[in-house]
Amino acid sequence: MILEIVSPEATLFTGEVVAVSVPGTDGSFQMLNNHAPIVAALKEGTVAIKGQVTVANQYEDMFRKQGDTTLLDITSGTVEMNANKVILLID
């Protein structure tokens, strides 16, 4: 599936990933390929991305690796999943 991470400043990442876990306001959840369409609000927490994540040098300090998972701390945001594309709008 395709993941696109967008902040108010720029698009931080766009690429193919295996799974994305997000801190939803009603609890954390994970999206895999062929997940049902969803739109959800996000709260402060950590987004976990499984797959090959390569970001531009100016955004590297926002992401951290933990084994084969890439982590990104957020304060809030919105996630939309539809047709195997996840768009993550973060603050």
Question: What is the residue-wise DSSP string for 20-82?
Answer: EEEEETTEEEEEETTPPPEEEEE-SEEEEEES-----GGGGGGEEEETTEEEEEES-EEEEEE
Lowest mean per-residue pLDDT among 11-15, 44-48, 56-60, 87-91: 56-60
At residue 84, the 3 state secondary structure works out as coil
* pLDDT 10s digits, 28-61: 999 999 999 999 999 999 999 999 898 888 999 9
Identify the CATH assignment for 2-90 out of 3.30.1130.10, 1.25.40.340, 3.40.50.620, 2.60.15.10.
Answer: 2.60.15.10
pTM: 0.94
